[in-house]
Amino acid sequence: MSDSASMAAATEARFSNRDLIGRGSFGDVYRGFDKELSKEVAIKVIDLEEAEDDIEDIQKEISVLSQCRCPYITDYYGSYLHQTKLWIVMEYMAGGSVADLLQAGPPLDEISIACILRDLLHAVEYLHSEGKIHRDIKG
């Protein structure tokens, strides 16, 4: 078995119970279980053949995420090449996004909005203290 084939098999074996939970600008996002970390994770799967023009943006996203250590920013656990697809493994947020909350039910109350904005501002404050700027902030 070649090195790339054995790495692909190891990646496939490490993550189980992969369920599609969303589609992003770069690829699909799955919820899975990371057997090494013993926790649920989000796996963004990007087809590198389709994303040739976006590879630099993807590299920047990985670079920023890998350097962040803040409770208000999604944890990054690693990236893995699986055939022609790049798997970016991140913290799984069980509650979903703010957009999911808005679509799912009644409008948010003022206290919930204040809590979301407070946490968002903490994240932006952290990024700025690290000399980073982010143009694609998601709730």
Long-range Cβ pairs for the range 115-123 (8 Å, 24+): 119/72, 120/72, 122/70, 122/72, 123/70, 123/72, 123/73
85 is in an annotated binding site: no
Active-site position among 19, 53, 109, 136: 136
Closest CA to 8 of 88, 64, 86, 90: 86
Strand-by-strand arrangement of the 15-23 sheet: 15-23, 28-34, 39-47, 85-91, 76-82
Q: Looking up tokens 């084939």, which residue turns up?
A: 5
136 is catalytic: yes
Annotated binding site for ATP: 44
Catalytic residues: 136
Annotated binding site: 44
